[in-house]
Structure 1
């Protein structure tokens, strides 16, 4: 039985704030030339969405570093950790392994117990999988109907996580609260708030994944991280793999934003009208 665990993280206020600011700046800087080359224009609705993304990044950076107040983000941190562990588990299943259990730690850690599977895929799957989920959610957050589809996909992922973590009360509580939040948003203004919730979870997942990689593998040099195990088995150093995985995670995030701009140019009014025809709730 091979455990894949994430140790609890410890805040580094200055480094974390700098990293989040850098991620935001990199995303905006990379977006401009790509949009210009492709001849894409940003609509008013997309401008608002981009502004919301920047506001989310700023809010997460501020809340993350204020004692006691940062506890507001705790449920979302646990949700992102659930994404991390789900990604390990899903990769194990795809590569012929079996998932024994998933557990979450109140101190913002988690572990996936599995048998078999290809470790070359399952080990990086936690970090990269959660950042890919974040990018996809950010992409879907540009549109109400896409956010509805994303919430359905999240529901399926949550059910699997709930099944694998059925003996862990924190996993059960985290999943149930997340499902309750998503379902509740379906019944407000034709699910318009849902896209902002999906967008927030996407941004949170993307940023947390990048920070977690850097915190575990570069700044604190945790010996029991996924990357340290990966480095021992396949060569290189955990710090090197941390840098590579961080870059890939940022590329995912930027790609999600660019894809959202390209795919969803419709206005708020048009999106609401489309939403009324896709699994209407009132």
Structure 2
């Protein structure tokens, strides 16, 4: 039996020379680190497509939101976003010791949540900020197919809660059931790839809903009773001021969702499809 012998670790000369040169030259090391940072912050083709889709969604929704007659094409998604808004009021009321009596949607006036108890300083802004937070999270999930599948499951749970609170309002029930049907249908198309674009669309609309709706209520139509005006009466300030603050927070949620999506999901379309085949395949 041959005796055990140890051998020194051999490093290729090219790697050793390059490592030594970088260690000796701080400027070269700094430039190398900057190059790696640029690579880490770069946007690949799949992410660029997703960003382009987000921009197109925002522009199209903004136009359809304000054009007469054509705006009715957004009506189903607008009702869904309003349902998110009312869900924000309801869930924060439950978390602050209150009780939800009912939720109802109105095709002309929006929606209303009847609450008993709770902390109004939290429940009042939770409508706009809640829908914006949901929008930011959906945008984040919209960068990846598997994440969109997870998001659709969570949305389903939220929808079921909303259905329970709105069990006497047929418009709310119809809107929620149609949304659930759309999400389920997308699971069975091309390994759920369309699902992420639906989730992305709902996310963009929900994230920007507070901006458009606050502008609509406080600047264009100047509605007397809105969440911002009630908040201003109870806690001071003006409704316009609170509306602007909530709109800025909504934009922050949206930007955070985009940046998080870019950082978390660098996979290509084909890689995402392969991952989707392994996660609750359809």
Under a length normalisation based on structure 1, what TM-score does the superposition of the two structures give?
A: 0.84
SS in 2 for 1:236: coil
Find the counterpart in structure 1 of residue 76 from structure 2.
75
CA distance in 1: counterparts of 2:217 and 2:157, whole angstroms: 29
TM (norm. structure 2) is 0.84
Match of 2:106 in 1: 105
- Which sections of structure 2, spanning at least 5 residues, go unmatched? 1-36
- The residue aligned with 1:62 is 63
By how many angstroms is 1:149 displaced? 0.5
| Aligned equivalents of 1:61, 1:210: Cα separation in 2 | 10
Report the alpha carbon displacement of residue 63 of structure 1 after superposing the two structures with TM: 2.6
Q: Relative to 1, partners in 2 of residues 1:61 and 1:232: Cα closer, same or farther, differing over 3 Å? A: closer
- How far is the alpha carbon of 1:213 from its aligned partner? 1.7
Shift of residue 69, structure 1, vs aligned partner: 2.6
Counterpart of 1:41?
Answer: 42
Gaps of 5+ in 1: 1-35
Q: Distance in 1 between matches of 2:120 and 2:51?
A: 37
1:18-167 alignment to 2 at 5 Å?
39-167=40-168
| Structure 1 vs Structure 2 CA RMSD | 1.5
> What is the count of residue pairs matched by the alignment?
246
Aligned-partner Cα distance in 2 for 1:136–1:219: 29
Q: Measure how far apart 1:39 and its partner are.
A: 4.4
For the pair shown, the structure with the greater C-alpha radius of gyration is: 2
What is the CA–CA distance in structure 2 between the aligned matches of 1:147 and 1:209, rounded to whole Å? Answer: 23
Secondary structure at 1:63 match in 2: helix
**Secondary structure, in 3 states, of the residue corresponding to 2:101?**
strand
Q: CA deviation at 1:38?
A: 9.6
